[in-house]
Amino acid sequence: MLINCVAYQNGIKLADITVEEISDYLEKKDCLVWVALRDTTNVELDKMQEEFGLHDLAIEDAHHGHQRPKIEEYGDILFTAMHLVEVEHPNLVVGEFSIFVGHNFVLSIRNRSARELHGVRDRCEREPELMKLGAGFVFYALMDAVVDSYFPVIDELESQLEDIEERLFDKNAAFTNIAQLYTLKRKVAVLKHAVMPLMEASGRLHGGRVPPVCATTQEYFRDVFDHLTRINATIDAIRDTITTAILVCQSTVSIEQNEVNKRLAAWAGIFAVATAFAGIWGMNFQNMPELTLWYGYPLALTLIAVTCGYLYRRFKRAGWL
């Protein structure tokens, strides 16, 4: 579906144009055509390929999707694939954002994502002096918007982790916490897969040999790279914290099991003493001492009770009971 198709000249908006008029405006001097599509069909992609002269492989990647974030050059045209990550409780939803950049055009394609990027166009149109930099600046603005959208996701993941950490030492909550931590770890991995490849690829857009369309905007892409580096570092910190929290939960389970084992051992020791006394006095031998005493039975019960009480007190002081 076509969202916008606009022509600009010297950073100023000329007009909203039709797809059929794209090739005419591309021939004009200092003219930039910016087209935005969403959930495209084969027919729409074929038309865009015809208008902009896009490479078959790039069109195939844009259509089929499920691409690893990357930046590739096809002659003078730059193709970029990025992931749009959104929070839809309780999961993360991943969409795809593809950008084709030529010396006088930008084509953006958003698939399987509800995220709106209208603010990017408004921002660029408010800065005609920067729009004069050409397609490279529009490419930067789109890429920067996608990267900035990762920050709220980071905040949500950190918030979820903090909630779990508050319950980390709750009694009998270890197994629930471990399950939630592993779920959170999978979410972090989703964001990691969106950020890490893009960070590696964006390093090509500043310093050294850069694609021609980015030659006048290298410092802007350096800023994007810095944001990605910061996000990636935060993701690594969250992953380390999750790993530590899982180890703490496992230790908590072991401690709880040790407490149960100590209680069982203490009660077993107490009953073992009582069983020993009863076993001795319960043997059916005729010539046993104290069998003829009339107070032998209450004396035996008293001795067993006193011994068990003494053991109970010692175990209680030791914290086993």
pLDDT in tens, 260-283: 777 788 888 878 888 877 776 666
The band of 175, judged by pLDDT with boundaries at 50, 70 and 90, is: confident
CA atoms within 13 A on the CB side of 2: 15
Is residue 245 a part of any domain in this protein? no
The band of 293, judged by pLDDT with boundaries at 50, 70 and 90, is: low
In the chain, the number of structural domains is 2
Task: List, for residues 86-115, the tens digit of each pLDDT value.
Answer: 988 778 899 999 999 998 999 999 888 877
For residues 11 and 168, give the distance between their C-alpha atoms in angstroms, rounded to a whole number.
55
Decide which of 132, 166, 183 is a domain's last residue. Answer: 132
- Output the pLDDT for position 248: 87
Decide which of 132, 148, 172 is a domain's last residue. Answer: 132
Sign of the four-CA dihedral 277, 281, 285, 287: positive
Is residue 299 a part of any domain in this protein? yes
Per DSSP (E only), the strands in 211-309 are none
Decide which of 87, 111, 132 is a domain's last residue. Answer: 132
Closest residue by Cα to residue 33 from 120, 105, 123: 105
Is residue 26 a part of any domain in this protein? yes
Closest residue by Cα to residue 150 from 68, 72, 235, 218: 235
What is the token pair recorded at 257? 């099991």
Range of the domain at 27: 1-132
Is residue 210 a part of any domain in this protein? no
The band of 28, judged by pLDDT with boundaries at 50, 70 and 90, is: confident
Is residue 5 a part of any domain in this protein? yes
- Residue 44: DSSP 8-state: H
297: CATH: 1.20.58.340
What letter represents residue 189's amino acid? Answer: A
Task: List, for residues 44-84, the tens digit of each pLDDT value.
Answer: 888 998 888 889 888 888 887 778 899 999 988 999 999 99
- Output the pLDDT for position 285: 59
For residues 122 and 314, give the distance between their C-alpha atoms in angstroms, rounded to a whole number.
77
